[in-house]
Structure 1
Amino acid sequence: MSTLIAEDLLLLLLDDETGRLAHSDKIRPLLGGALLIELALAGRVEVEDKTSMWSTAKVVVPETPPPDDPAAQDPVLGAALELVRDRPRAARDLVDRLGKGSKETLLDRLADRGLVRPVTGKVLGLFPRTTWPAIDREHEAAVRRRLQDVLVQGLVPDERTAAIVALLSTVDHAHKVVDRGDLSTRQVKKRAKEIAAGAWAAQAVRDAVKAAQAATTAAVVAGATVAAAAGG
């Protein structure tokens, strides 16, 4: 089954039984970062050189699309690409814009594919809430096996798996999606960070991938800071 990195990320963050989403307060920049990384890995976006030490590197769309352009075949990626094409923006701005509304769209797609199902209810009998328990777990299990191979067995990840690890590491969740076996939580976390920082993307797209990772991390940290301040 062909899925987006963002869709695999959602499946990993959803509790199969309850259908509740982990890190729901951080999901917008996470999904935005996943979409930006997917476009980068497909060669559909790149990062321009900074024009000065005071400027911010901007993400742009190259003039010539690659053969078998995935953005031309997937409406979610196509919409994401058009947003990037609108005008050059910093990655941090893009992950927020790309992530807006993406959770609902992607969850609906997963439901249409028979992987999850929407269950509506109310919290405290008052506030409406939709959860998304799993129906077919085969695809998610395959994703978890690949993560197990790289995080626990130490195999070299492909670009897609490395991207998922990098995004999960952003919210300190990578160690929660595998069976650690004899490894400690600390060891798995360290491996996830090493993968996130590694040269797993081709040189032509590495700048865009790193920009998306950094922007996602910054957005997640900023959101956590605001939430902590509000709670205080």
Structure 2
Amino acid sequence: MLIAEDLLLLAFDDTEGKPVSGIDNLDRAVAGALLLELTLLGKVDVTGDADEGTAGRIILRETTPVGEAELDGALALLAEEQGSKPKDAVARLAEDDPVERLLSGLADRGVLRRESRKVLKLFPVTRWPAADSRHEESLRAELHRVLVDDGEPDDRTAAVIALLVATKSVRHAFPTDDAEVTRKRAEQIAEGNWGSDAVRKAIDEVTVAVMVSVMAATVVTTS
């Protein structure tokens, strides 16, 4: 399961099959998740002082396909974005509309159900209720261990939490009895010193890019 797919399972109501109230900018969050996963795999990086050119720009470190269609498609797009700022790379990946493809993929694998109908007999609407919740239940149990029981996260769980923090979605995607304590713990994880320096650097850079990209999209939408 991709990090981006984990985000979607957390974001969508299992019964209603649509994003839970309060969750916005899913396209940017999912785009950031794809960029982050490729970064953690060593395929993509953000330039530093040791690289030629301007620091803080997208660069491909390794171009061999991953063997997963969505990641390989994102990798191909990022090859065209080398030298751009991370926030612009997130925006470009979001423009490719990965959310619908990932939801369709989850439905094809029996994790979600695809339910299409027309509202007022005119407007097509597709809902994605849960069909097999085993992976999501395992994911939520892991989040509970880390966010509620103060357990230490692995790299993947930390990445999911950091993306939820970046999009201000923690209390919506993972409601608990004490939302404020959970939010603070999530922020602690997002800013913490877990994992290797390389993993910490990757998550920091991508989540900042997601935050900036989401804010930019919000400004455009509300202007």
TM-score (norm: length of structure 1): 0.85
Report whether the alignment pairs 1:206 with 2:200. Answer: yes
Matches within 5 A, 1:176-215: 176-178=172-174, 180-181=176-177, 184-215=178-209
Aligned CA distance change for structure 1 residues 47 and 171 (closer, same or farther; 3 Å): closer
Residue 222 (structure 1) aligned to one of 209, 216, 219: 216
* 1:26 equivalent in structure 2: 25
Matches within 5 A, 1:165-176: 165-176=161-172
Aligned CA distance change for structure 1 residues 223 and 124 (closer, same or farther; 3 Å): farther
Matches within 5 A, 1:120-199: 120-178=116-174, 180-181=176-177, 184-199=178-193
Residue 182 of structure 2 aligns with an amino acid whose one-letter code is V
Secondary structure at the residue paired with 1:215? helix
* 1:77 equivalent in structure 2: 71
Secondary structure at the residue paired with 1:219? helix
Aligned CA distance change for structure 1 residues 206 and 88 (closer, same or farther; 3 Å): farther
How many Å separate the matches in 2 of 1:198 and 1:228? 33
1:101-154 CA distance string (max 9 Å, x none): 101110111011101011112334432111101100011000000100000000
Secondary structure at the residue paired with 2:25? helix
Q: Report how far residue 56 of structure 1 moved.
A: 6.0
1:47-72 CA distance string (max 9 Å, x none): 11269xxx56111111586xxxxx42
* 1:68 equivalent in structure 2: none
Aligned CA distance change for structure 1 residues 124 and 202 (closer, same or farther; 3 Å): farther
Q: Report how far residue 74 of structure 1 moved.
A: 0.8
Matches within 5 A, 1:56-71: 57-63=56-62, 71=65
For the 8 Å contact 1:58–1:89, the answer to whether it is kept is yes
TM-score (norm: length of structure 2): 0.88
Q: Report how far residue 225 of structure 1 moved.
A: 2.8
Residue 185 of structure 2 aligns with an amino acid whose one-letter code is R
Identity of aligned residues (%): 39
How many Å separate the matches in 2 of 1:168 and 1:201? 18
How many Å separate the matches in 2 of 1:95 and 1:64? 18
For the 8 Å contact 1:29–1:219, the answer to whether it is kept is yes
Secondary structure at the residue paired with 1:129? strand
* 2:101 equivalent in structure 1: 105
1:138-174 CA distance string (max 9 Å, x none): 1100000010000000000001001111111223222
How many Å separate the matches in 1 of 2:220 and 2:79? 30
For the 8 Å contact 1:201–1:209, the answer to whether it is kept is no
Secondary structure at the residue paired with 1:94? helix
For the 8 Å contact 2:29–2:210, the answer to whether it is kept is yes
Secondary structure at the residue paired with 1:109? helix
